[in-house]
Chain A
Amino acid sequence: MALAPERPKIYEGSRIPQHVPTILRVPDELRDSEDVLEINFGPNHPSTHGVLRLVIELHGEHVVGLRAVIGYLHTGFEKNMEHKTWWKAITYSPRIDYLSFQNNELVFVLAAEKLLELEVPRKATWMRMCLAELNRIHSHLVWLATAALELGAISMFWYCFRERDSILDLFEMVTGTRMHTRYYQVGGLAEDIPPGFYPEARKFCSWMPKAVDDYEALVDQNAIWLERTKGIGLLSAEDAVALGQTGPVLRGSGVDWDLRKAEPYLAYDQVEFDVPVYGNGDVWDRYKVHMDEMRESTRIVAQCLDRLEEMEGEPWIADDRKVVLPPREELHTSMESLIHHFKIVTEGYRVPEGEVYVAVESARGELGCYVVSDGGPKPWRVKFRAPSFVALEATATCMSDALVADLIAIVGSLDTVMGEVDR
């Protein structure tokens, strides 16, 4: 499914605004005229991306000036995580990108494990991969539901949320809760995989491709959808790389870059899947990337289920008692286990000194976590590199010569989650 390596030229040169890369400035000849209207695409607006404020200047229907104001959801995650032990800090991470929540936990836990140089049992690795892909499908479903809703294809919302509820049922079965499943621990998983999971997940995997066919049947041939997405929001490959884009935005611009293939983490080098890359750099291509990624993720989940069923009975968390809680049965008989349990719960396990940057391919792109540890029970510095933060920087470039209606399509296609942007 990947295109040929040479990238077609989407437009000549670079469209990144010269003065400030993220602000589209009104051209001088229009600035003094009376025809430019500055309005607030305020923090509360119906396109449900969360609290993004765009100050746009309109000349008729053309958007001639654009400035994004963010920070309306700034939650101080990083500062809060510095004050909690490593165990408790994991709880904060899924709320950052609240659509692909397990990816945030995953990247934080991977960073801590890298600093600890801890080996994770393969059952945990494969289950993490399975859940990460289910999460990717979940995130793309919500993206598709809301992006289509904004463009007017309202019934897509109900179709997508039907599948989304199936995925959340799977999460609930495994982890006990629908969203913000705090299922990953440093060392593996929190609990073993319940036995009913595999048949249910297989049912989902066999149903999902038909559901994606349904979605494509709804909009792929629809003249309004095509008109509103083809040729809109162009972003060339060079501009995308200069703007630091990753994920579907980058792959929609023709750059074949996916962390799962390029720098495989977990067990991605042992599963077969393709990476969709489309070359035109418009909203339509990003939409196609999302749709194909849903299909590929279903493939990965099916392969993970096959491998996981072979690993029935294996440990799901590492054995290192300095970091991982001992099994509860041991607490009755072994004094050392009791002491370890006590120290881990009260003081927290210590992660050796160092700094590390780990990146995973979340549904939006490269989600990175930079962790500095001072050898103590609390992280010293945690920084999440949010792909949506960077995607919003590309708004001004994509908006060169666009109408107000296109603005909605473009911001929707950049797939931003404000929790990530503002952290």
Chain B
Amino acid sequence: MREALGETTLVVDPPRLVEACTHLRDQEGFSMLVDITPTDYLGWGERGPAGYIGTSSGRDLNAPGSQGYARTPQPKPKRFSMNYHLLAVPGARRVRVQVWLEDGQPVDSVVQIWATADWHEREAWDMMGIPIEGHPNLARILMEDDWEGHPLRKDYPLGGEPVRFSGDE
């Protein structure tokens, strides 16, 4: 359980997710699931282009390129995090339930708890490739049905075309 910037984050193990969410809905009163956000942390904390990040202990005047007050960020436990944002409608309380997953590790569906999770979980599958177990209709939702790959992953290229300039022809 973490509190930062006025927000509460509850880190839960994947097998206990459904139990935790049921408890939060029934006992604590978080009646609305606002959002499910998967995040990919591949490449977190690695050195960016030259002069991008300081060392993990902060700015070091003797180490070239360690500009500014930036530091390497805190390392993350696993590659993916699934964040469930919950809201207690009459009481105006919010909490974020966070589950950490490896690539390909499935997470249980919370559709039985909050019906709105249906499309959010489909989007998590479509965009990030997080398999949801127990979802009644896990199909691609934003991309075409036969699309290969999961676009929002960090190892998926941005795509697009190189811009052509008229002077180059």
CB pair A357–B35 under 8 Å, yes or no, is yes
Chain A proximity of B66: nearest CB distance (Å): 13
Question: Chain B: which residue is nearest A351 at the CB level?
Answer: B70
Q: Most chain-A CB neighbours within 10 Å: which of B39, B48, B111, B118? A: B118
Q: Which residues of B contact A242 (CB under 8 A)?
A: 31-32, 114-116
Cβ contacts under 8 Å, B142 to chain A: 70-71, 74, 422-423
Whole-angstrom distance between the alpha carbons of A80 and B89 in the complex?
A: 33
Task: Tell whether, in the assembled complex, residue B44 and residue A76 are in contact, meaning their CB atoms are under 8 Å apart.
Answer: no
Query: Cβ of B45 and Cβ of A374 under 8 Å apart?
Result: yes
Q: Would B45 and A22 count as touching, CB distance under 8 A?
A: no
Judge whether B143 is part of the interface by a CB distance below 8 angstroms.
yes
A353 lies within 8 A of B73 (CB): yes
Q: How far is the CA of A242 from the CA of B34 in the complex (A)?
A: 10
User: Which of A21, A78, A80, A357 has a CB less than 8 Å from the CB of B7?
Assistant: A357
Establish whether residues B116 and A357, one from each chain, have CB atoms under 8 Å apart when the complex forms. no
Task: Digitize A243-287: 1 where CB-to-B-CB distance is under 8 Å, 0 elsewhere.
Answer: 110100000000101000011000000000000000000000000
Q: B156: which A residues are within 8 A, CB to CB? A: 79
Q: Chain B's interface: helix, strand, loop or mixed, by majority? A: loop
CB–CB A370/B70 < 8 A? no
B61 within 8 A of A: no
A244 in contact with B37 (CB, 8 Å): no
A42 to B33, CA, bound (A): 30
Q: Is the CB of A374 within 8 A of B96?
A: no
State whether the Cβ of A152 lies closer than 8 Å to any Cβ in chain B. no
Q: Does B144 contact A (CB under 8 A)?
A: yes
Residue-wise interface mask of B (110-144) relative to A, using a CB-CB cutoff of 8 A (1 in contact, 0 not): 01001110110000000000000000110011111
The verdict on B94 contacting chain A, using a C-beta distance below 8 Å, is yes
Are A385 and B85 also in contact (CB < 8 A) when A19-B136, A375-B53 are? yes
By beta carbon, the residue of chain B nearest A242 is: B115
- Residues of chain B within 8 A (CB-CB) of A83 are 158
CB-nearest residue of chain A to B123: A389
- Assess the B116–A390 pair: CB atoms within 8 A: yes
Contact B89 A244 (CB under 8 A): no
Instruction: Tell whether A370 pairs with B5 under 8 Å between CB atoms, given A357-B85, A393-B119.
Output: no
Residues in B lying within 8 Å of A, measured CB to CB:
4-5, 7, 9, 31-35, 37, 39-41, 44-45, 48, 52-53, 68, 70-74, 83, 85, 89-90, 92, 94, 96, 111, 114-116, 118-119, 136-137, 140-144, 151-152, 156, 158-159
- What 3 A-B pairs are tightest by C-beta distance, nearest first? A244-B116, A21-B115, A385-B35
A-B contact pairs, 22 of them (CB 8 A): A20-B137, A21-B111, A21-B116, A22-B137, A71-B141, A71-B144, A80-B158, A83-B158, A239-B115, A242-B31, A244-B114, A262-B92, A353-B74, A354-B5, A357-B7, A368-B34, A370-B83, A375-B72, A376-B53, A380-B44, A383-B35, A390-B119
